[in-house]
């Protein structure tokens, strides 16, 4: 039994002072507020939040940060750079890169990552000796960085969607594809779950999975988290309408892919009927505001989606920043810019998106709150930093940033202490992993 005594902690009903959290077997055993520390308690200053869940990550996109910003272009020209990077990764390079990125996320309070993983095979689409070698690199990286992982193994079967239907894969995209949904499912089924790891499923998008393949993906995903990029760009909607005569959300609905186990990522360009469809089915939505801004995607109708019944989660997606708190601020900022109103999401709603809703979307519904029975994920943030000094604890989720995180506990284990990750200098780990990937440019 380990116990933490928190100067303040965010309990299900809000911030409280002098909170003692007792942990046994990686779970919270008891929470008591208003008492003094006991002998042997580990003291945590500031405000202790539940662990954060990054519900949408593509780890390798982190290597593009600071390398695509100045040249103009669109989502589609950015994607060319991303494909050039993907072509250079093998399991060893991916392990080093993902380990550093997951450590960067942990430094910012993330205790669980949803990795939307589609870089499966070797050059030309030739499988590695272990067809799950790239997945195993991600699994090892998360274990090394001390975070839980939901590996959202992604079906990516077509090179795009034209008016006459799915397009052929190009050379880089061949690395993403298993050929068809049955072969994809057989490969994923060979990857065992283990402590700290859930195996989920993903449909890359309606651009990359032909309509007739969707039911097989849905069948395999039953009982697992299922994620899908949805209507990130207008061009996706136009292609779907031209090819199938319906919106992407309607296509997923018809194929049986919507529901409480499903998370739609982005959900930017939606009709009112799409919003009703997503909300009515209880489909979760993952907003990635810094990526949606960086790639000029647009601002989704997130308040309307929440009001319609969609739980909202947040993701760092292409890792424009490694700061999940920035995604929460971006969610509210986008809402204000689009609506002309303030306070569209209360700080407590932002925290729920960062924590409980994110973990639930990743298949860990027992996580994300400081309450008995929950996984023991604790994130202490400083209240006296240049960013947080003077703030009321109730409003901290709307002003805090990753550098304010001092301590991170995952399943009862301390991963970050005094602002330092157990792996050491994360900036140096990132530099050593990223620079070789660009050595020939
Ligand atoms: Zn994405």
What is the mean pLDDT for each group of 10 consecutive residues in the chain (441 residues)? 96 98 98 96 98 97 88 84 90 97 98 98 95 98 98 98 94 95 98 97 98 97 97 96 98 97 98 98 98 94 98 97 97 97 97 98 97 98 97 97 98 98 98 93 77
Cα 414 to ligand 1 centre (Å)? 29
Cβ atoms of residues 159 and 170 within 8 Å: yes
DSSP letter at 421?
E
Gap from CA of 7 to ligand 1 centroid (Å) = 37
Taking the centre of ligand 1 as the mean of its atom positions, its distance from the CA of residue 190, in whole angstroms, is 24
Q: What angle do CA 112, 117, 123 make, to 5 degrees?
A: 145
269 a catalytic residue? no
pLDDT at site 71: 74
Query: Would you call 323 a catalytic residue per the annotation?
Result: no
What pLDDT is recorded for position 4? Answer: 98
Looking at 153, 294, 317, 411, which residue is catalytic? Answer: 317
Helix 324-339 / helix 347-354 crossing angle, nearest 10 deg: 130
Q: Which helix (H) or strand (E) holds 223?
A: none
Burial of 206 per CB tally in 10 Å (0-12, 13-18, 19+): buried
Whole-number pLDDT of residue 69: 77
Q: Is the dihedral of CA 132, 138, 143, 144 positive or negative?
A: positive
CA distance 93 to 114: 20
Which helix or strand (DSSP H or E) is residue 291 part of?
helix 289-294
The length of the chain, given as a count of residues: 441
CB contact at 8 A, 287 and 312:
yes
Total-model pTM: 0.97
Taking Cα atoms as reference points, which of 355, 365, 336, 337 lies closest to residue 396?
Answer: 355
Compute the distance between CA of residue 3 and CA of residue 376 in angstroms, rounded to an integer. Answer: 11
Whole-number Å distance between alpha carbons of 177 and 173: 7
Q: Tell me the sheet residues that pair with 263.
A: 227, 284
The confidence score (pLDDT) of residue 173 equals 94
Q: What angle do CA 147, 57, 175 make, to 5 degrees?
A: 115
Is residue 9 within 8 Å of 19, Cβ to Cβ?
yes
Cα of 313 from ligand 1 centre, angstroms: 13
**Beta-carbon neighbours within 5 Å of ion ligand 1:** 317
Q: What integer pLDDT is reported at residue 104 of this predicted model? A: 98
Q: Tell me the CA–centroid distance for residue 57 and ligand 1, in Å.
A: 7
């Amino acid at each position: 039994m380990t116990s933490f005594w928190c100067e303040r902690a965010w309990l299900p009903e809000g911030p409280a002072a002098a909170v003692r959290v007792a942990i046994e077997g990686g779970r919270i055993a008891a929470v008591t507020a208003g008492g003094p520390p006991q002998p042997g308690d580990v003291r945590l200053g500031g405000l202790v939040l539940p662990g954060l869940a990054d519900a949408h990550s593509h780890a390798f996109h982190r290597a593009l940060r600071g390398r695509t910003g100045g040249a103009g272009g669109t989502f589609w020209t950015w994607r060319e750079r991303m494909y050039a990077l993907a072509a250079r990764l093998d399991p060893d390079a991916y392990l080093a890169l993902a380990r550093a990125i997951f450590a960067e996320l942990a430094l910012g309070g993330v205790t669980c990552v949803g990795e939307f993983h589609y870089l499966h095979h070797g050059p030309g689409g030739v499988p590695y000796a272990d067809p799950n070698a790239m997945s195993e690199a991600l699994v090892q990286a998360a274990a090394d960085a001390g975070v839980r992982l939901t590996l959202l193994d992604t079906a990516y079967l077509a090179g795009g969607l034209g008016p006459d239907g799915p397009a052929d894969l190009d050379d880089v995209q061949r690395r993403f594809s298993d050929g068809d949904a049955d072969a994809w499912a057989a490969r994923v089924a060979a990857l065992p779950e283990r402590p700290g790891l859930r195996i989920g499923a993903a449909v890359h998008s309606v651009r990359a999975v032909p309509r007739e393949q969707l039911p097989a993906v849905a069948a395999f995903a039953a009982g697992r988290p299922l994620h899908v990029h949805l209507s990130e760009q207008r061009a996706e909607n136009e292609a779907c309408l031209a090819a199938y005569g319906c919106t992407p959300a309607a296509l997923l609905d018809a194929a049986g892919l919507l529901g409480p186990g499903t998370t739609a990522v982005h959900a930017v360009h939606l009709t009112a009927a799409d919003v009703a469809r997503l909300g009515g089915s209880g489909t979760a939505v993952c907003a990635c505001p810094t990526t949606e801004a960086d790639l000029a995607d647009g601002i989704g109708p997130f308040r309307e989606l929440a009001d319609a019944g969609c739980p909202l989660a947040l993701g760092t997606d292409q890792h424009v920043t490694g700061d999940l708190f920035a995604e929460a601020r971006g969610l509210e900022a986008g809402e204000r810019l689009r609506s002309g109103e303030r306070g569209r999401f209360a700080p407590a709603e932002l925290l729920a998106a960062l924590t409980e809703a994110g973990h639930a979307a990743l298949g860990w519904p027992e996580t994300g709150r400081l309450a008995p029975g929950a996984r023991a994920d604790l994130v202490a943030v400083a209240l006296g930093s240049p960013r947080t000094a003077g703030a009321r604890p109730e409003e901290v989720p709307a002003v805090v940033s990753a550098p304010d995180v001092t301590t991170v506990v995952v399943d009862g284990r301390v991963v970050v202490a005094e602002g330092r990750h157990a792996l050491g200098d994360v900036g140096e780990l990132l530099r050593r992993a990223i620079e070789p990937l660009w050595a020939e440019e």
